[in-house]
Chains A and B, each alone.
Chain A
Amino acid sequence: NAGVTQTPKFRVLKTGQSMTLLCAQDMNHEYMYWYRQDPGMGLRLIHYSVGEGTTAKGEVPDGYNVSRLKKQNFLLGLESAAPSQTSVYFCASSRTDYGYTFGSGTRLTVV
């Protein structure tokens, strides 16, 4: 019962480097989401997807790109990392709006 799996769990990047965060779910959920969580700011939605091949912007999309080529995977890319992108990133999936299943997070530090 894996649920939502995020890789990597930790990463340190230098300013300007790029990386991709991978999210995989095995529950056949249609909806997938990427959030960032910062102290005092709560969970903020970056991008989301309502199905394979679709993506949409959330509350804080600038500096990020996403892709959902397969239903079970949702990738979050940082093309040129900035210190302001230091955060904990969570992926979530859902079948409806009645509850999200979250991954355990990726702690990203940009120096």
Chain B
Amino acid sequence: TQLLEQSPQFLSIQEGENLTVYCNSSSVFSSLQWYRQEPGEGPVLLVTVVTGGEVKKLKRLTFQFGDARKDSSLHITAAQPGDTGLYLCAGAKASYDKVIFGPGTSLSVIP
């Protein structure tokens, strides 16, 4: 049983489209992280959110932490081929606790 669920599992879109991917859990997390992993490489940290309701923006990427700190979303505006990759969310249930990773959303942006 996955503690963190991610949806959709796979997503293929055309360049220029907008998209949202989701990370959900029945547990409360003290912090939640988003990573992007490209083929043949390790995950790279995009953002960490720690406050319920928090919204962070990273260029065309917008991250939101749910008010109850059980879920998060990642919205990409005007997707580009360079956004292609596996998007992983990871949560820590307490400060200094090891994080738990979700299974990921595989995004393909077609030129």
Contact = CB atoms under 8 A, between A and B. Distances in A.
Interface of A: 4, 33, 35, 40-45, 48, 58, 90, 92, 96-105
A100 B98 CA distance: 10
Interface stretch (B14-22, B61-69, B75-83, B89-97): B89-97
Contact of A103 (B33, B42, B96, B104): B42
Q: Is the interface of B mostly helix, strand, loop or mixed?
A: loop
A48 B31 contact: no
Contacts, number: 57
B98 A48 contact: yes
Contacts of B92: 97
A54 B67 CA distance: 36
- Chain B interface bracket (under 10, 10 to 19, 20 to 34, 35 or more): 20 to 34
A109 to B, nearest CB: 15
Indicate the member of A4, A35, A43 with the most B CB atoms within 10 Å.
A43
Contacts of A105: 40-42
A98 B31 contact: yes
A105 B97 CA distance: 23
